[in-house]
Amino acid sequence: MFEKLFRGRKAEEGGRILAVQNGKVVPLEEVPDPVFSQKVLGEGAAIYPEDGKIYSPVTGIIDSVMDTGHALAIMAKDGAQILIHVGLNTVELQGEGFVTHVTAGQKVYAGDLLLEVDLELLKSKGLSAITPVLLLNKDSFQEVIPFIGVAKAGETVMVQYR
């Protein structure tokens, strides 16, 4: 299936999730929400963003986009299931401040623009902009290694897995 979808353009190699935003990457344990910090949904890392643009961390297919625009899931070409959750409690905004650039079923390449969020709006509403990026099917892989430090969207490897 993927070979037909990605013919003519080089897909990312499996085993890595690129940074979805420019900013500081921290361990999930530092996310001030137990669903993420206790890794209930999956393993990964989170990023404190410098700007409101969110890019695809892998080549794959958009599995789902929340109606509110605050989260989306991607099925990577190598089978990794990735969740990007922009901010904490941002579902409460009911889509205010979010612009989605993709739809479910759409193929994307690493570095494609997925979403935009108004970080000033989040701040004015008292909401955290920290963005957890999770490998939902972590049990399908032997090892998941998050990167910690300053990241550049589409370039820095945020999480490696094998």
As a whole number of angstroms, the distance between CA 130 and CA 85 comes to 9
Q: Looking at residue 43, what is its pLDDT?
A: 96
Question: Taking 70 as the threshold, does the pLDDT of residue 41 lie above it?
Answer: yes
Q: Looking at residue 152, what is its pLDDT?
A: 97
DSSP the chain: -HHHHTTTSPPPPSSEEE-SSSEEEEEGGGSSSHHHHTTSS-EEEEEEESSSEEE-SSSEEEEEE-TTSSEEEEEETTS-EEEEE-SSSGGGGTTTTEEE---TT-EE-TT-EEEEE-HHHHHHTT----EEEEETTGGGSS-EEE--EEE-TTTSEEEEE-
Topology adopted by domain 2-161: Glucose Permease (Domain IIA) (2.70.70)
Q: Looking at residue 11, what is its pLDDT?
A: 36
**Least confident span in 6-15, 44-53, 120-129:** 6-15
Name the percent of the chain lying above pLDDT 70.
91
Among all residues, which ones are annotated catalytic?
85
Residue 9 banded pLDDT, cuts 50, 70, 90:
very low
| Mean pLDDT computed over 36-53 | 97
Question: Taking 90 as the threshold, does the pLDDT of residue 26 lie above it?
Answer: yes
Q: Looking at residue 5, what is its pLDDT?
A: 44
Q: Looking at residue 151, what is its pLDDT?
A: 97
Q: Looking at residue 7, what is its pLDDT?
A: 42
Give whole-number Cα distances, 50 to 21, 87, 101, in Å: 7, 13, 19
Question: Beta partners for 129?
Answer: none
| Mean pLDDT computed over 123-148 | 95
Which residue in 66, 64, 69 sits closest to 99, CA to CA? 69
Sign of the CA dihedral running 103, 105, 111, 112: negative
Q: Looking at residue 71, what is its pLDDT?
A: 98
| Mean pLDDT computed over 120-126 | 98
